[in-house]
Structure 1
Amino acid sequence: MPKMKSHTGMGKRVKVTGKGKIVREQAGKRHLLEHKSSHVTRRMTGTVVVAKADTARVKKLLGR
């Protein structure tokens, strides 16, 4: 039986914390920032936990 390969694209997008939570970056902070308000861009900084509905799919792609 061959080894399970993790989805490399998903591995670049999410990180698993020490307690097993899956965190991701906020979307919308890469380009076209000039017309977005500072309030919006500040809100998009940092990481957030992946939605509960998506965790099973993400874990499967990560090979967990």
Structure 2
Amino acid sequence: MPKNKTHSGARKRFKVTGSGKVMRQRAGRRHYLERKPSTLTRRLANDVEAAPADAKKMKKLLGK
């Protein structure tokens, strides 16, 4: 049986940590930044763990 291909869009957006957690970026940090408070933009800069239901789908797309 052939190997599953990695979804190239998912590969650019999600990372799997060594312990198996799926990390994603927060939305809202692309544009209109000058009207958003700096506290908000700093908070949006950090990656967060994906929800368990979504993480299962993401891992399938990543071929993990």
What is the TM-score when the length of structure 2 is the normalising length? 0.88
Task: Report the equivalent of 1:56.
Answer: 56
Greater fraction of residues in helix = 2
| Runs of 4+ deviating beyond 2 Å | none
SS in 2 for 1:23: strand
Greater fraction of residues in strand = 1
Percentage of pairs with the same residue: 55
What is the TM-score when the length of structure 1 is the normalising length? 0.88
State the superposition RMSD in angstroms.
1.1
Partners of 2:61 and 2:9 lie apart in 1 by: 9
> Structure 2: which 5+ residue stretches go unaligned?
none
